[in-house]
Amino acid sequence: MGNGNPKLYPIYTELTECRDCYKCVRACPVKSIQVDQGRATVVRDRCISCGKCVDTCPSHAKKIRDDVYLAKQLLKTHKRVIVSLAPSYASEFSETPEAVLVALRRLGFSDISETAIGASLVSAAIDEHIRRTGSCDWISTACPSVVELVHRYHPHLIGRLSPIPSPLQCHAAYLRHLYGKDIGIVFVGPCIAKKVEADHSPGYPDIALTFRELRAWFDEEHLDLTLLQQEGITEESVGSMIPAEAGESTLYPVEGGMVATFAVGKDVFQDKAVSVSGVAHVIETLEDLRANPKDAHAPFLELLNCEGGCINGPGKSRFRSSAVSKGQAIRFTRTRIVRERPVFVPDASYVSELLDKGYGILEGSSQSGGFLLGPAPLAKFTEQEIAKALSELGKIGPGDELNCGGCGYNSCRDMAIAYLDGMAEPEMCVTRMRKLAQSKIDVLLRTLPMGVVIVDRHLDIVDCNIAFLKLFAGIDDELGSDAVDKVPGLPLQRFVPFHGEFAQQFDTSGTNGQYRLHFKGKFLKVIFFTIEHHRLVGAMFQDITTPTVRRETVVKKADAVIRKSLETVQQIASLLGENAAETEITLNSLIDAFQVPLGDGPDGFFIDTDQRGSV
């Protein structure tokens, strides 16, 4: 019998598509996501297969293992291969419920049976147990994700798990009881965790597919459900369910549906069985059981990790609200109950065998149903180790622990523990990275010899350096370090009268503008640059006055040499002739080339026609 691919966990990460968002870390209720080099992967020994990461990954990097090829291989064996169809198909294929049955047969499946048959057996067994003992404080095993949660994170509660296998496992066992050991069984439903059941309990079922996989398979075989439905569905094309259609147990995928099938569940005020859905609420319930282990009135617990029940499982192919999905499931169950066609009635002798043997009905399986899961490898650290980790993350004191959740963890302390445990990286801390980036910017700005200022769209200063304040505010180095921290938020026009030039930069195409600025007797080279288009603009100011003075000195000395040379030229004019005039013209051109305007001209910008100089 096939059992999926145990080498590949049902949930995995496509690393090339994983981006630094940490959204899956935030979504994972047990923090089983390890981040390494910015990529988030599922740690198999900690995962409970709830599928939260699959639902929330914005880049769809979290994938569900595709087992369609295994189902095709099973069909090629020419065995009798039966589909165990989850009752939530009524909400998944609400517009084409009969067409999906026709399509399944066209894929090559011999028969179709409803997983709700197994649910009927489970409910009957629990009813019998309550009848015998008067109560039942078990935790349901209907949700394999809850079973994983208990085994990995609450092993002290393993003894509270129901000794009766899950509805799917009971269904597979019953089908083999009726039709022989050699049949193939393929489950189809909305649950990823059912793949874990298939992996750990080979044959119960052989393979588990999600509704997403089934729809993809239909598309591959060009089976259009809408067209099939429109062509007209006959009883012959649909065929009959084996061994019969399920009745009220088709309500199992809705929160409270399991309890509603119990005899005690018919009393709306009963307190012997309670339903809880949503992994956060389930975890709270299990924590409460840890705190109150000897509750004499402990009820049977129907725990489902998916909010609202299996109708919202991560393997469904398209979103419908809980209200719509629940309404569809209820209408489907009502139809089964009120119409006159016979529905499945549990075999009393098999129910008794189920109660007596429990997981023993699954050949080759342990009493844990094949869930050979050890506790999650959660390390413990001392307060000193945690304090050191917090320090490495930039959390020197309590005031630094913002607990913003940007890293995906509920608190900075949780993040520090995950960091020590090798599950997280320092780069995941948003505030740390922001401070680190800001400190690098600060160091860069403060060490630049040029004046730098960054302004926003409103021409308010976002940041600047001391050199800028020295140029435009006359502040010296001693006062500058304190003043720099007080400038952000102030209007640029308080410092420079030519702020209009900055405003023009927001309307350019993003190309850097280069100018010369005459300001209070100094010449400045100005280069504008865009940081965020239409949002942030910066400018660098280089004082080129000092180099200009040096050039003026060269010019004056050259002028003296020229004049002395001209005196000599006049004495030997008869020898030089016109060459003397040409020499004078050439030397005067040299003076003009070095000459720059003096510092007593009007202040303002003018285009830098010589942009070959370096900043």
Task: Give pLDDT tens digits for 537-549.
Answer: 989 998 887 665 5
pLDDT attached to residue 162: 97
Taking residues 494-510, report their average pLDDT: 80
Portion of the chain with pLDDT greater than 70, in percent: 85
Higher pLDDT, 561 or 18: 18
Query: Domain spanning 449-463+485-615: which CATH class is it, in words?
Result: alpha beta
pLDDT attached to residue 557: 64
Higher pLDDT, 326 or 295: 326
Domain boundaries, the chain: 11-361, 383-425, 449-463+485-615
Q: Which of 103-107, 552-556, 610-614 has the highest mean pLDDT?
A: 103-107
Instruction: Encode pLDDT of 169-190 as tens digits.
Output: 999 999 999 999 999 999 999 9
pLDDT attached to residue 486: 87
User: Considering the entire predicted model, what is its pTM?
Assistant: 0.76
In 93-206, the DSSP E strands lie at 111-114, 184-189
Higher pLDDT, 575 or 524: 524
pLDDT attached to residue 574: 44
Give the pairing of strands 207-210 and 300-304. unpaired
Nearest to 195 by CA among 178, 179, 207: 207
DSSP characters over 151-174: HHH-GGGGGGB-SSPPHHHHHHHH
pLDDT beyond 50 at 1: no
Give the pairing of strands 33-36 and 39-42. antiparallel
Cα distances from 183 to residues 41, 178, 206, 235, 522, in angstroms, run: 36, 10, 10, 24, 93
Q: Are 555 and 595 in contact, with CB atoms under 8 Å apart?
A: yes
Q: Are 362 and 165 in contact, with CB atoms under 8 Å apart?
A: yes
pLDDT attached to residue 296: 67
Specify the DSSP class assigned to residue 367: T
pLDDT beyond 50 at 593: no
pLDDT attached to residue 93: 92
Cα distances from 253 to residues 181, 187, 363, in angstroms, run: 28, 15, 27
Integer Cα distance of 228 and 226 in angstroms: 5
Integer Cα distance of 261 and 343 in angstroms: 14
Integer Cα distance of 284 and 276 in angstroms: 10
The residue assigned the tokens 């000395």 is 557
Instruction: Encode pLDDT of 411-429 as tens digits.
Output: 999 999 999 999 999 999 8
pLDDT attached to residue 500: 81
Q: What φ, ψ does residue 414 adopt, rounded to 5°?
A: -60, -40
Q: How many CA atoms lie within 13 A of 101 on its CB side?
A: 23
Q: What does pLDDT average to over the chain?
A: 85
pLDDT attached to residue 441: 77
Q: How many CA atoms lie within 13 A of 202 on its CB side?
A: 8
Cα distances from 88 to residues 42, 91, 254, 373, in angstroms, run: 27, 6, 8, 28
Higher pLDDT, 546 or 598: 546
Taking residues 588-598, report their average pLDDT: 50
Under the banding of pLDDT at 50, 70 and 90, the label for residue 3 is very low
pLDDT beyond 80 at 276: yes
Taking residues 495-505, report their average pLDDT: 84
Q: Are 484 and 557 in contact, with CB atoms under 8 Å apart?
A: no
Q: Is 130 exposed, middle or buried (0-12, 13-18, 19+ CB in 10 A)?
A: middle
pLDDT beyond 80 at 410: yes
Higher pLDDT, 447 or 195: 195
Integer Cα distance of 14 and 298 in angstroms: 43
